[in-house]
Amino acid sequence: MTLDSKVPEGPIKDKWTSYKDKINLVNPANKRHIDVIVVGTGLAGGSAAATLAELGYNVKAFAYQDSPRRAHSIAAQGGINAAKNYQGDGDSTYRLFYDTVKGGDYRSREANVYRLAEVSSNIIDQCVAQGVPFARDYGGLLDNRSFGGVLVSRTFYAKGQTGQQLLLGAYSAMNRQIARGKIEMFNRHEMLDVVIVDGKARGIIARNLITGEIERHSAHAVVVGSGGYGNVYFLSTNAMGSNATASWKIHKKGAFFANPCYTQIHPTCIPRSGDYQSKLTLMSESLRNDGRIWVPKNMEDVLAIREGRKKPTDLSEDERDYYLERRYPAFGNLVPRDVASRAAKERCDAGYGVNQTGEAVYLDFASAFERYGKEQAKIHNIKNPSKEKIIELGQAIVEAKYGNLFQMYEKIVDQNPYETPMMIYPAVHYTMGGVWVDYNLMTTIPGCYCIGEANFSDHGANRLGASALMQGLADGYFVLPYTIGDYLADDIRTGKIPTDTKEFDEAEKEVVDRINFFVNNKGTKSVDYFHKKLGKVMWDKAGMSRNAQGLTEAMAEIKAIREEFWKDVSVPGEANEMNPELEKAGRVADFLELGELFAKDALVRAESCGGHFREESAELDGPQKGEAKRNDKDFAFVSAWEYKGEPADAVLHKEELEFKDIELKQRSYK
Partner 1 sequence: MSGKGMNLTLQIWRQKDANDKGKMVDYKVTDISEHMSFLEMMDVLNEQLVNSGEEPVAFDHDCREGICGMCSMYINGEAHGPDRGITTCQLHMRMFNDGDTITIEPFRAAAFPVIKDLVVDRMAFERIQQAGGFISVNTSGNTQDANSLPISKHAADEAMDAATCIGCGACVATCKNSSAMLFVGAKVSQYALLPQGQVEAADRVKNMVAQMDLEGFGNCTNTGACEIECPKGISLDNIARMNREFMAANIKG
Report if residue 142 touches partner 1, rule: CB under 8 A: yes
| 168 vs 542 by CB, closer to partner 1 | 168
Q: Contacts with partner 1 in 470-489 (CB under 8 A)? A: 477-478
Report the C-alpha gap between 36 and 658 in whole angstroms. Answer: 33
Q: Contacts with partner 1 in 581-610 (CB under 8 A)? A: 581
Query: Is there a contact between 165 and 135 (Cβ–Cβ < 8 Å)?
Result: no
H or E stretch at 556: helix 548-568
To partner 1, the closest distance from the beta carbon of 334 in angstroms equals 25
To partner 1, the closest distance from the beta carbon of 55 in angstroms equals 9
Q: Contacts with partner 1 in 26-55 (CB under 8 A)? A: 47, 50-51, 54
CA-to-CA separations, 515 to 212, 214, 232, 323, in angstroms, rounded: 10, 10, 21, 50
Out of 128, 334, 397, 575, the residue judged to bind partner 1 by CB under 8 A: 128
* Dihedral Cα 247, 251, 257, 261, nearest 10 deg: 60
Report the C-alpha gap between 67 and 185 in whole angstroms. Answer: 9
Out of 387, 411, 493, 633, the residue judged to bind partner 1 by CB under 8 A: 411
- How many C-beta atoms lie closer than 10 Å to residue 664's C-beta? 13
Q: Contacts with partner 1 in 197-216 (CB under 8 A)? A: 210
**Backbone phi, then psi, for 60, in 5-degree steps?**
-115, 120
Query: Is there a contact between 593 and 609 (Cβ–Cβ < 8 Å)?
Result: no
Q: Contacts with partner 1 in 509-528 (CB under 8 A)? A: 526-528
Query: Is there a contact between 294 and 364 (Cβ–Cβ < 8 Å)?
Result: yes
Q: Contacts with partner 1 in 224-243 (CB under 8 A)? A: 237, 239-241
CA-CA-CA-CA torsion sign (282, 246, 103, 141): negative
To partner 1, the closest distance from the beta carbon of 346 in angstroms equals 25
| 3 vs 283 by CB, closer to partner 1 | 283
Report if residue 159 touches partner 1, rule: CB under 8 A: yes
Report the C-alpha gap between 299 and 313 in whole angstroms. Answer: 16
Out of 8, 149, 446, 573, the residue judged to bind partner 1 by CB under 8 A: 573
To partner 1, the closest distance from the beta carbon of 94 in angstroms equals 20
Strands 637-642 and 257-258: antiparallel
Q: Contacts with partner 1 in 314-373 (CB under 8 A)? A: 356
| 84 vs 297 by CB, closer to partner 1 | 84
**Backbone phi, then psi, for 442, in 5-degree steps?**
-90, 140
Q: Contacts with partner 1 in 247-286 (CB under 8 A)? A: 273-274, 276-279, 281-282
Query: Is there a contact between 45 and 73 (Cβ–Cβ < 8 Å)?
Result: no
| 123 vs 538 by CB, closer to partner 1 | 123
| 20 vs 33 by CB, closer to partner 1 | 20
Closest by CA position to 246, among listed 591, 664, 608, 629 = 591
To partner 1, the closest distance from the beta carbon of 380 in angstroms equals 25
To partner 1, the closest distance from the beta carbon of 584 in angstroms equals 10
Question: Per CB under 8 A, which region of 158-166, 225-233, 289-297, 416-424 contacts partner 1?
Answer: 158-166
H or E stretch at 208: strand 200-208
Closest by CA position to 291, among listed 392, 156, 406 = 406
Out of 6, 32, 136, 509, the residue judged to bind partner 1 by CB under 8 A: 136
To partner 1, the closest distance from the beta carbon of 109 in angstroms equals 22
Question: Distance between alpha carbon 663 and the CA centroid of its chain, in Å?
Answer: 26
Q: Contacts with partner 1 in 63-122 (CB under 8 A)? A: 65-67, 69-72, 74-75, 84, 86, 119, 122
HSE-CB of 387 using CA atoms within 13 angstroms: 2
* Count of residues interacting with partner 1 (CB under 8 A): 81
Instruction: For 226-321, list the strands marked E by DSSP.
Output: 257-258, 263-269, 292-296, 320-321
To partner 1, the closest distance from the beta carbon of 188 in angstroms equals 8
| 122 vs 552 by CB, closer to partner 1 | 122
| 376 vs 431 by CB, closer to partner 1 | 431
